[in-house]
Amino acid sequence: MGRRGPYDGGVERNRPVLEADDSSTSSSSRMVGGAQAQFPGHRFRPTGAIDAHHDWARWGWELVGPDGGATVAAGVDVAVLAPDGRLRAVTVFFHQPAGAAK
C-alpha cells in the first residue's frame, strides 16, 4: 500500500496511478517527472486554497494541458503532517475532471 521515505523519517503515500518506488524527495520528483513525460507540456495547478486542521491538510489539484488547455486528471490530496510541519502521509483521491465524458 503506502511507501515510506525521509520527509519526516517515514512518509506514507498512496497513489494508485502515479506511484513512486519509495517516498523520498527524489522518488517523488521522479513520479511527477513521469506524469510530465506522459503528458508533455501539461502542468499541475491547485484548484483552491489548502485546508488545514491540526495535523491534517487537504488540497485540490488538476493536471492541465499546455496554455491552460483541457484538464486530463484531477484530484484531492489529504496529508497528515509531522510535528515539524513536514509531510508524514499523503493519500491521493482521483476524480472525474469537470466537463469530462463519463
Give domain limits for the chain. Answer: 12-95
Cell of 80: 497528515
**What is the tens place of the pLDDT at every residue in 84-100?**
888 888 888 888 776 66
Buried b (16+ CB within 10 A) or exposed e, 61-76: bbbbeeeeeebebbbb
Can you give the pTM of this predicted structure?
Answer: 0.67
**What is the tens place of the pLDDT at every residue in 36-58?**
788 899 988 999 999 999 999 99
What architecture is the 12-95 domain classified under in CATH?
Answer: Roll (3.10)
Residue 19 in this model has a pLDDT that exceeds 50 = no
User: Which of 8-12, 49-53, 56-60, 68-72 is the least confident region?
Assistant: 8-12
Instruction: Point out which residues pair with 43 in neighbouring strands.
Output: 64
Give the helix/strand (H/E) hosting 80.
strand 71-81
